Amino acid sequence: MLDAFNRHPSSVGESYGRHLAQASSFGLTMITAGAACLVHAIFPFWFEKTASLCVQRLHAQMAARGRPDAGAHKALQA
């Protein structure tokens, strides 16, 4: 059973605790960006770049985490 909790974190070079913290941070950032999008939908002059900047920052952080497929995004951009 413990293997199920450790398999993925181990594949990205993290402990379970580190992965929990990192994934939680990513999730909270996405929730915040989503809330900014909803506010922006009503008030288009607020949060004009908030969500796109969050997505760019998250992508850079995720790509830099040592995942084996981290370079795959470059092939998609070409």
Residue 21 · residue 10 · CB < 8 Å: no
At 63, list the tokens: 């790509």
The C-alpha atoms of residue 56 and residue 37 are separated, in whole angstroms, by 15
Give tens-digit pLDDT for 23-78. 999 999 999 999 999 999 999 999 999 999 999 999 998 888 765 554 444 544 54
In this prediction the pTM is: 0.71
Residue 26 · residue 20 · CB < 8 Å: no
